[in-house]
């Protein structure tokens, strides 16, 4: 019984994971420092541009938790919480 519950819990956690959909045609891919650029764009209030720069950052450095954190905050500030 316990093994069945564990297996069911693992299936739920696997199916509940969301997959982030990156923007097409991102002009910040290849930018030398997209994290810094994203932070600057965020400070200026250019949230849609900041999202693109931060997406480029996490594509370049997928383990960068700060990049992912700022990307989430920027989506929330931009009223785009679905991402």
Which residue ranges form the domains of the chain, and what is each CATH number? 2-77 (1.25.40.10)
**pLDDT greater than 60 at residue 77:** yes
**pLDDT greater than 70 at residue 83:** no
Which pLDDT does position 47 carry in this prediction? 97
Which pLDDT does position 79 carry in this prediction? 82
How far is the C-alpha of 2 from the C-alpha of 8, rounded, in Å?
A: 10
Helices (H), the chain: 2-16, 34-43, 47-60, 65-77
| pLDDT one-digit tens code per residue, 11-68 | 554 555 678 999 999 999 999 999 999 999 999 999 999 999 999 999 999 999 999 9
26, 48 Cβ separation under 8 angstroms? no
48, 75 Cβ separation under 8 angstroms? no
């Amino acid at each position: 019984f316990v093994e069945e519950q564990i297996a069911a819990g693992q299936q739920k956690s696997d199916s509940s994971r969301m997959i982030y959909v990156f923007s097409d045609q991102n002009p910040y891919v290849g930018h030398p420092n997209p994290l810094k650029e994203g932070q600057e764009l965020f400070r200026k209030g250019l949230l849609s541009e900041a999202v693109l720069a931060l997406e480029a950052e996490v594509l370049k450095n997928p383990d960068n938790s700060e990049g992912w954190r700022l990307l989430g905050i920027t989506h929330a500030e931009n009223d785009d919480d679905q991402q």
